[in-house]
Amino acid sequence: MGQKLIYAKFSKTEYRRVIDLLKEGFSTDNGNFIRTYNDPECTDQECHAARRSLEDLLSIVRVYFPRCSRQRLCKALYRLKDDPEMYVYAYKCRTIHKIVYRANRNMGFAVERGFNSSVRETDEYKGNGEYSMIEFLEYARR
């Protein structure tokens, strides 16, 4: 069985770039990722608008980009740190015990700049997740 896909109600049915899909996903007022669903019709809610782990983001992105690699996702997510309207930061979620990401329009990528983040660039913490911040940055910088 393949990886579970997570669906969302995006404004488009096709995207040319992964970063564009991420920008729309993180465009909520509070910086959480938009509401997600278990089915393509978006009738069975999977999660309310929330911060998302790298594993979740990959499951969402693969609906639109089925061959998207971890590296491609990490590069797109990391590039959001340079977007003047959409800064993404990472921290350890105490609820799901993973590194999660959300957006904030008032700061840069917190791991890089050291603002309001419980995750540092050299952090090996994975919790229940598959990736540490060290691994994320290795993928993003390749």
Mean pLDDT along residues 112-141: 74
At residue 113, the pLDDT reads: 43
pTM of the model: 0.86
At residue 119, the pLDDT reads: 66
Q: Identify whether 21 is part of a domain.
A: yes
Give the C-alpha distances (Å, rounded to integers) separating 142 from 21, 74, 111.
Answer: 21, 10, 17
Q: Identify whether 2 is part of a domain.
A: no
pLDDT at 133 over 80: yes
Q: Identify whether 20 is part of a domain.
A: yes
At residue 111, the pLDDT reads: 47
Q: Identify whether 1 is part of a domain.
A: no
- Closest by CA to 50, choosing from 106, 15, 98, is 98
pLDDT > 70 in the chain, percent: 86
Q: pLDDT tens digits, residue range 28-65?
A: 888 889 999 999 999 999 988 888 999 999 999 999 99
Q: Identify whether 90 is part of a domain.
A: yes
pLDDT at 17 over 60: yes
Q: Identify whether 109 is part of a domain.
A: yes
Q: How many domains does the chain have?
A: 1
Q: Identify whether 80 is part of a domain.
A: yes
At residue 117, the pLDDT reads: 52
Residue 129: domain span: 7-141
Provide the CB-side half-sphere exposure for 89 (13 A, CA). 22
Whole-angstrom distance, CA of residue 37 vs CA of residue 58: 14
Q: Identify whether 53 is part of a domain.
A: yes
